[in-house]
Each structure stands twice: as C-alpha cells, then as structure tokens.
Chains A and B, each alone.
Chain A
Amino acid sequence: MPSIRASVQEKVMGNSQEKTLSKIVSESLEKLAFMFLLSDSFRDPIPFLNAVTAEVSFTGVFSGRLAVVMSEPALKELAANMLGIDNEAVEQHHLNDALKETANIICGNWLPVVGGDEAVFHIAAPRILSPSQAATALTGQSPSVLEKMSVDEEPCDVYFFRE
C-alpha cells in the first residue's frame, strides 16, 4: 500500500494546496479512525468556542505551524475509534491526546509534500490551545492554507501557516 505522502506527492503539482492538504487529512483520519471527511469549503470556519484546537509548530528549511480545529462530537468519535472504545467511555484527556496526535500525523505527512523529501524539519510536541489562544493564533494572520472539511456534518478545519 503506498504511503499517503507518495500518493499525494505525484499530484501536488497539478492540485491546489487546499486539495492536497484535504487528501492528506482525509486519508489520515480514514487510517487512524475509519472516519471519512469531505471538503466543505463553502461554510465559515468553526467558531473556536465550539471546538477543540491542537497546534503543532515546526522549524527547518522553513518554519511554521499547523492547527486542527474539530467539533467535540467529531473529536469524540475520532478518539473512540482510535482507541477502540465506546463514545461514552471517552474522557477529556483522550480527546486532547487524540487531537494532538492527529495534528502531529497530518503535519508529518504534509511537510515532505511542501518541503520535499530531503528537507529536514523538527516538529515540536503538539499542544492544545484554549479558544482564546486559538482565536489569537489562527486569526492574527492569514493562513497559507485553510482547508474546511466535515464528517457526518460535524466540521473540522485545518490551518497551515508558513512563516
């Protein structure tokens, strides 16, 4: 089975970055949690108060950060499926850990696509942002890429900032 990176890298030149990031996000969540996300680009971004946000920053040939903002119902399903437990058994720390790991995996698969195979990046430990931290961090400057997606009508936004 080809890696996510390999399958998208051949198409990156012909696709917009949004489509490429969308493919990485959807393939990551499919493998992690058997969740199927679709692009949902015509809606507004998720209000940060109604969601959980995880951010991962990186340095290397260029620096930046990637953030995943997900509604709580979608995140609950993500955590439950990742762990193989019932939704009712999911605890708050499961939600945070699942979203941090998901952000880390998306970032790890995205950077070689935008930076190239030989590029070396150091990815910092992912962290959860409070709604006010998320508002400051994600709306203070325009993202290089913002991909809005949904799963079962629950939204998930991915922000990428190249600095």
Chain B
Amino acid sequence: MGINILIVDDSSVMRAMILKTLRMSGLSLGDVYGASNGAEGLEVLSRQWTDLVILDINMPVMNGEDMMIRMKENPETRDIPVIVVSTEGSKTRIENLVKMGAIFIRKPFTPEMIRDAIHQSLGTGESHG
C-alpha cells in the first residue's frame, strides 16, 4: 500500500514540482492531495487519511507554523509526520519547527533529500543522508 501524502504550498508550480520529485524518488505513493494554505490543509486532513504532510511556511490565509500548531492540538492529526519544505532562513524559526517535530528541508531540494526525509519521518527504509 502506498504512502498518502498531503502537499501544502501556495505555489501551484511548487506543488507540481514536489509531486514530480516524489514520483522520481522511487517511493511507493498512494493518494497525493494538494492544498494552497494551512486552512485548506487542515480541511483535507479532516476528511482524508494522510500518512505524511509536506508543508511550506510562508502562505496566505494560514501559514505553515500555524497549521502545524493546529495539527498538534488535534488528537486526530498530532501524530502525522510533517516535513517542512521552505526557503526560510531564520535559524530560530527553523528550530521552533524542529522542536514541534518537523523535519526541515530547504528549497531547492533533490528527490533524494525528499526520499530520505520521508523515510526518516515514517521510520522506514534507509537514509542516505
């Protein structure tokens, strides 16, 4: 059975690029959902079984940090692994996200970086870090 993944990014090109990267990564994919901000992402999580969230930080309506806080407050979603994929440069902000349990990947990324982060977050396979 494949991995169900939610991609939350306000850029449609970046969502498509992440999907392309996932397909190139060799992972067994299930359903892949998209959302353009944190509020839409929470809505998807409320109705679709999701194994993993790939999350941007800077988005309109609800940013990635706020979405992650809301996920952690909800028993239904608090254990879903989160990979933050962003251009964020602030060490403090990155550390806060990592403290909440996220794995951080800086844009741009390679398929290998995504694959390794997914294996690390799901506790599967072998990381080639």
**Chain A residues whose CB sits within 8 angstroms of the CB of B13 once the complex forms:** 79, 82-83, 94, 97-98, 101
**A-side interface residues, number (CB < 8 Å):** 33
Q: How far is the CA of A82 from the CA of B93 in the complex (A)?
A: 27
B106 A109 Cβ-Cβ under 8 A: yes
Tell me if A20 counts as interface (CB < 8 A to partner B): no
Tell me if B70 counts as interface (CB < 8 A to partner A): no
Tell me if B87 counts as interface (CB < 8 A to partner A): yes
Tell me if B30 counts as interface (CB < 8 A to partner A): no
Tell me if B109 counts as interface (CB < 8 A to partner A): yes
Tell me if A107 counts as interface (CB < 8 A to partner B): yes
With beta carbons under 8 angstroms apart, the residue of B11, B20, B90, B108 that contacts A119 is: B90
Tell me if B88 counts as interface (CB < 8 A to partner A): yes
Tell me if B125 counts as interface (CB < 8 A to partner A): no
Query: What residues make up the interface of A, taking CB atoms closer than 8 Å to B?
Result: 1, 3-5, 27-28, 31-32, 79, 82-84, 93-94, 97-98, 100-101, 104-105, 107-109, 111-112, 115, 117-121, 123, 125
Given A5-B106, A83-B17, A97-B11: 5 more A-B contacts, CB < 8 Å: A31-B108, A104-B87, A112-B89, A117-B91, A120-B92
24 contacts between A and B (CB under 8 A): A1-B110, A5-B106, A31-B108, A31-B110, A32-B108, A79-B13, A82-B13, A82-B17, A82-B20, A83-B13, A84-B16, A84-B17, A97-B12, A101-B14, A104-B11, A105-B108, A109-B87, A109-B106, A112-B89, A118-B92, A120-B90, A120-B92, A120-B93, A125-B60
